[in-house]
Amino acid sequence: MLNRKYVPILVTFGLLAVMFAAGSFRYTGFFSAQVLYNLLIDNSFLIITAVGMTFVIISGGIDLSVGSVIALTTMICATLVERHGWSPVVVIPMVLIFGALFGTLLGAIIHYFKIQPFIVTLAGMFLARGICYIISIDTITVTNGFFTKAAQTKVPLPGGNISINVIIALVIVLAAIYLAHYTRFGRNVYAIGGSEQSALLMGLPVARTKILVYTFSGFCSALAGVVFTFYMLSGYGLHAMGLELDTIAAVVIGGTLLTGGVGYVAGTLIGVLIQGVIQTIISFEGTLSSWWTKIVIGLLLFVFILFQRLLSDRRVTLKT
Amino acid sequence: MQAPILQMTGITKRFPGVKALSNVDFRLFPGEVHALMGENGAGKSTLIKVLTGVYSIDEGTVTIENQAVSIGGPLEAQKAGISTVYQEVNLCPNLTVAENIYIGREPRKFGRILWNKMNKEAARLLKERLNLSIDVTLPLHAYSVAVQQLIAIARALSISAKVLILDEPTSSLDQNEVHQLFSIMRKLKNDGLAILFVTHFLDQVYEMSDRITVLRNGELEGEYLAAGLPRIELVLKMIGKDLKLLEELPKLSEEAGAAAGSIMITASELGRKGAINPFDLEIRKGEVVGLAGLLGSGRTEMARLLFGVDRPDQGKLLAGESGSPVKSPRSAIELGIAYCSENRKTEGIIDDLTVRENIILALQAARGWLRPISRKKQDEIADQYIKMLNINPPNPEHLIKNLSGGNQQKALLARWLLTEPELLILDEPTRGIDIGAKAEIQKLVLSLAKQGMSVLFISSELEEVIRVSDRVAVLRDRSKVKELGGGELNQQQIMQAMAGG
């Protein structure tokens, strides 16, 4: 009975294990620590974004602006560092604060004007993406020493090595798990996702929590943008196109219910890794087009939302 | 006698155009269960909302333990020691039981929530105060509504409540669960808690409460000791009548109507858990059957079952001479049943359509949208019914929202009459309309019955029910308790049945 709430996350984890095992049997060289590390290296920005999105979705909302905020962050970093010669030590905190404030603005509009998060963050998405092109319509390559060093530093681990980005992502995941389960803010997010009306009547700070959720998501997106700059060493308005949808897919595959109230940050991490494994398998296969990733993720999502529906239906029948 | 813990004096609350409460006094003693009674619109829920800070007070004072308090919102009410448990459990189903009790006030150390401590405290609180031993680490939705309600009470207690308001706590519980709740209420009462108990169930009022306050039309009718107030007196005070004044009314329906023909609809042992207990009912052709009962006694629930809106979980419902079962509103309409709901505004008229369009609606639906009724035919029908029912203004192209309540009601009636039903269910057809229109609708019902239509007539106004009905079924506490016809049909008999006991 106690384990039932962990069922979706266990299924997700099992799926990841099965896929990794299948890849290991089928392709030589697949079963290695470095393949696993690469999963983290190539998806660290997605992990960070998805952590922020997990909170938003648990609170019952959605944030479509994340991909654009990443692009805008890479753009601001690149232009300030490369064209205006600002120090990364100033620029990076600045973009993080900017991302958080952008999220706060969206959250405040959503809460105080009672507008659907979908449409508000959609507007935010267009706005941030558009601002990229005001800065420049071209790619700005980053050659700054701090950025290149961050990109190239390898942290040795048994069987391979990981990048700084991975460490940032894992720290964020751990911090988010603590935030979700051991702080009032985290529990209030779950409560609001369970029933906003009840949360209000129980005297919880609904307004503050809801806005902070988007602030946190904005912060995560900006941090993902910085990590993305480390990863790509460039700023570009077309970076992270459609990433918001990958993020939502990862969160849902990770066992978070789109209706809010239920979900785990750890599940989201696994959700991202599943997407990464699919990509890796397809690249190992060699002959398949990378669009197969989308096809497999599409099918997986179908399976998962149906699975979630079955689970929540059972809950309803239990109640009556 | 000890001092009251809560004292409300001269409470007045105005809404635009209405005085919802005028000069109402209310007091609550520690260690008592106090029932607040009144019909719909008497001001019960307004009084509770004032007390819990949902509404502000226009005039009057509230004192708790002899200290004047001003309650600005639900949070302030909680801080003042007033907690409310609503009919709909206002907790979060996805959180654990312990969290639901303590969320917002979790035990913490350096900002970190101490789960073990919280779980232990929750388990102890439930055990000690509510005699409930359950796993507090399970999510709330794993438990029944009854247990959820107890958990809501536990939350209220953990905020150190002095006054506990239970608003219709029993309406979604079954018999055993009600008993469980009652034993806990008694325990809390003995612990010295003041409990304000709101319910529609008379039996429960008498089972639980020490004192009863009756409101009527936003005014205080009186405060009584439950032991000193016979049931019938209570009902009379709620409705606002004097037993001596209940004279015989001129009856419009003719006794001869009883010789009516074949059976139109038969319900046997029909019931739905949480809505209405199993009942038998038979309506014959050309007969008008009235439904009487206090608010919440199950009148509308019965009508909804008969029309197939809600699915019964036991019993049989057969309609017509062929005895076909009624499964859904659709099959009910096919069998010649029409239902005018009590919520004229939300379930009946469509505001932005004209009178003609509103009248045509059901007939068009019955024909199917592929066979539209020609405009000429529509105009003919609309004119015919506007004349027949005397709808004013007699212009079919008027938007229905601009008509008075009575005329809207007549247009709704026209809509269903047009489908030529054999059984017409009218739920509160005369609510909120003026006397003249009322009389017209009553006359119409009788003339329809004369033409062979069966009618189920639901109304809060006893005079009206008696005037039009051949037989009256009386409901109390969600059960059909009596059926009165012929000579027995008078207000006093019905009142007795409504009050019971």
- Which amino acid makes up residue A219? F
Q: What is the mean pLDDT of chain A?
A: 90
For residues B389 and B413, give the distance between their C-alpha atoms in angstroms, rounded to a whole number.
9
**Neighboring chain A residues of B95 at a CB cutoff of 8 Å:** 187, 190-191, 194
Q: Which two tokens stand for residue B275?
A: 């809505």
Q: Which two tokens stand for residue A120?
A: 């508000």
Domain assignment of residue B440, given as a range: 264-336+423-501
For residues A118 and B238, give the distance between their C-alpha atoms in angstroms, rounded to a whole number.
49
3-state DSSP call for residue B174?
Answer: coil
Which stretch of A124-138, B303-317, B396-410 has the lowest confidence by average pLDDT?
A: B396-410
The stretch A270-284 carries a mean pLDDT of 90
Per DSSP, the residues of B382-426 read HHHHHHHHT-SS--TTSBGGGS-HHHHHHHHHHHHHHT--SEEEE
Confirm whether B461 is domain-assigned.
yes
Confirm whether B254 is domain-assigned.
no
**Neighboring chain A residues of B141 at a CB cutoff of 8 Å:** 315, 318-319
Asked whether the predicted pLDDT for residue B245 surpasses 70, the reply is no
Q: Taking the CB of residue B191, how many other CB atoms lie within 10 A of it? A: 11
Q: For position B1, what pLDDT does the model report?
A: 57
Kindly report the nearest CA distance between residue B399 and chain A, in angstroms.
31
Q: Does B310 lie at the interface with A, CB-CB under 8 angstroms?
A: no
Which of these, B227, B175, B188, B205, lies nearest to B44 by C-alpha position? B205
Specify whether B377 is located in the same domain as B414.
yes
Asked whether the predicted pLDDT for residue B366 surpasses 80, the reply is no
Cα atoms in the Cβ-side hemisphere of radius 13 Å centred on A258: 17
Kindly report the nearest CA distance between residue B348 and chain A, in angstroms.
28
**Neighboring chain B residues of A201 at a CB cutoff of 8 Å:** 74, 90
Q: Which domain-ending residue is among B364, B395, B420?
A: B420
Q: Do A315 and B104 touch (CB under 8 A)?
A: no
Cα radius of gyration (chain B): 26
Q: Which two tokens stand for residue B319?
A: 């309609």
Which of these, A118, A97, A120, lies nearest to A109 by C-alpha position? A120
Residues forming beta bridges with residue B465, ordered by sequence position: none
Specify whether B224 is located in the same domain as B372.
no
At residue A178 the predicted structure's pLDDT band, cuts being 50, 70 and 90, is very high
For residues B121 and B420, give the distance between their C-alpha atoms in angstroms, rounded to a whole number.
64
Which stretch of A231-240, B57-66, B459-468 has the lowest confidence by average pLDDT?
A: B459-468
Specify whether B23 is located in the same domain as B44.
yes
Cis amide prior to A8 (ω within 30 degrees): no
Q: Which two tokens stand for residue A141?
A: 């390559």
- Which amino acid makes up residue B205? V
Specify whether B462 is located in the same domain as B501.
yes
Asked whether the predicted pLDDT for residue B251 surpasses 60, the reply is no
Specify whether B383 is located in the same domain as B456.
no
For residues B64 and B69, give the distance between their C-alpha atoms in angstroms, rounded to a whole number.
7
Between B370 and A78, the higher pLDDT residue? A78
Chain B 52-81, CB below 8 Å of chain A: which residues?
Answer: 74-75, 78
Q: Which domain-ending residue is among B390, B420, B450?
A: B420
Specify whether B98 is located in the same domain as B161.
yes
Indicate the DSSP class of residue B258. G
Residues forming beta bridges with residue B96, ordered by sequence position: B139
Query: CA A70, A74, A75: angle at the middle one, nearest 5?
Result: 115
**Neighboring chain A residues of B137 at a CB cutoff of 8 Å:** 2
Asked whether the predicted pLDDT for residue B252 surpasses 60, the reply is no
Domain A2-314 has CATH 1.10.10: no
A118 CB contacts (<8 Å, ≥6 apart)? A62, A64
Which of these, B455, B490, B360, lies nearest to B412 by C-alpha position? B360
Q: For position B351, what pLDDT does the model report?
A: 82
Query: CA B193, B198, B199: angle at the middle one, nearest 5?
Result: 130
Q: At what angle do helices A88-112 and A66-78 cross, to 10 degrees?
A: 150
Which chain A residue shows the shortest CA-CA distance from B152?
A202
Specify whether B143 is located in the same domain as B224.
yes
Q: Are A241 and A248 in contact (CB under 8 A)?
A: no
At residue B119 the predicted structure's pLDDT band, cuts being 50, 70 and 90, is very high
Specify whether B237 is located in the same domain as B143.
yes
Confirm whether B297 is domain-assigned.
yes
Between B52 and A77, the higher pLDDT residue? A77
Which tens digits make up the pLDDT trace of A35-52? 899 999 999 999 999 999
Which tens digits make up the pLDDT trace of B190-204? 988 999 998 878 888
Specify whether B47 is located in the same domain as B80.
yes
Q: Do B155 and A193 touch (CB under 8 A)?
A: no
**Neighboring chain B residues of A194 at a CB cutoff of 8 Å:** 92-95
Q: For position A291, what pLDDT does the model report?
A: 82
Asked whether the predicted pLDDT for residue B364 surpasses 50, the reply is yes
Indicate the DSSP class of residue A3. G
Query: CA A225, A231, A234: angle at the middle one, nearest 5?
Result: 75
The stretch A17-26 carries a mean pLDDT of 90
For residues B412 and B429, give the distance between their C-alpha atoms in angstroms, rounded to a whole number.
10
Question: β-pairing, B112-113 with B108-109?
Answer: antiparallel
Q: What is the mean pLDDT of chain B?
A: 84
The total number of structural domains that make up chain B: 3
Residues forming beta bridges with residue B13, ordered by sequence position: B21
Confirm whether B256 is domain-assigned.
no
Backbone torsions φ then ψ of B127, nearest 5 degrees: -70, -50
- Domain of B20, CATH number, reads 3.40.50.300
Q: Are B293 and B301 in contact (CB under 8 A)?
A: no
Three-class SS string for B436-469? Answer: HHHHHHHHHHHHHHHCCCEEEEECCCHHHHHHHC
At residue A32 the predicted structure's pLDDT band, cuts being 50, 70 and 90, is confident
Q: Does A152 lie at the interface with B, CB-CB under 8 angstroms?
A: no
Q: Does B160 lie at the interface with A, CB-CB under 8 angstroms?
A: no
Q: For position B146, what pLDDT does the model report?
A: 84
Q: For position B249, what pLDDT does the model report?
A: 47
Q: Do A204 and B103 touch (CB under 8 A)?
A: yes
Between A230 and B404, the higher pLDDT residue? A230
B9 burial type by CB count under 10 A (0-12 exposed, 13-18 middle, 19+ buried): middle
For residues A64 and B201, give the distance between their C-alpha atoms in angstroms, rounded to a whole number.
50
Percent of chain B whose pLDDT exceeds 70: 94
Specify whether B213 is located in the same domain as B114.
yes
Indicate the DSSP class of residue B112. E
For residues B125 and B148, give the distance between their C-alpha atoms in angstroms, rounded to a whole number.
15
Confirm whether B294 is domain-assigned.
yes
Q: Are B30 and B193 in contact (CB under 8 A)?
A: yes
Asked whether the predicted pLDDT for residue B306 surpasses 70, the reply is yes
Q: Do B74 and A184 touch (CB under 8 A)?
A: no
Q: Does B111 lie at the interface with A, CB-CB under 8 angstroms?
A: yes
**Number of residues in chain A:** 320
Asked whether the predicted pLDDT for residue B232 surpasses 50, the reply is yes
Interface test with B, best of A196, A198, A258 (most B CBs within 10 A): A198
User: Per-domain residue ranges for chain A?
Assistant: 2-314
Residues forming beta bridges with residue A157, ordered by sequence position: A160
Chain B 28-47, CB below 8 Å of chain A: which residues?
Answer: none
Q: Which domain-ending residue is among B420, B445, B462?
A: B420
Q: For position B46, what pLDDT does the model report?
A: 86
Specify whether B113 is located in the same domain as B206.
yes
Query: CA A300, A304, A307: angle at the middle one, nearest 5?
Result: 140
Nearest to B95 among A190, A203, A319 (CB): A190
Specify whether B328 is located in the same domain as B361.
no
Q: For position A57, what pLDDT does the model report?
A: 97
Interface test with B, best of A1, A5, A187, A313 (most B CBs within 10 A): A187
Question: β-pairing, B59-64 with B211-216?
Answer: unpaired
Which run of H or of E encompasses B290? strand B288-292
Please, what is the end-to-end C-alpha distance for chain A in angstroms? 18
Q: Do B113 and A184 touch (CB under 8 A)?
A: yes
Q: Which two tokens stand for residue B196?
A: 């304000």
Between A and B, how many CB-CB pairs are < 8 A?
71
**Number of residues in chain B:** 501
Residues forming beta bridges with residue B485, ordered by sequence position: B471
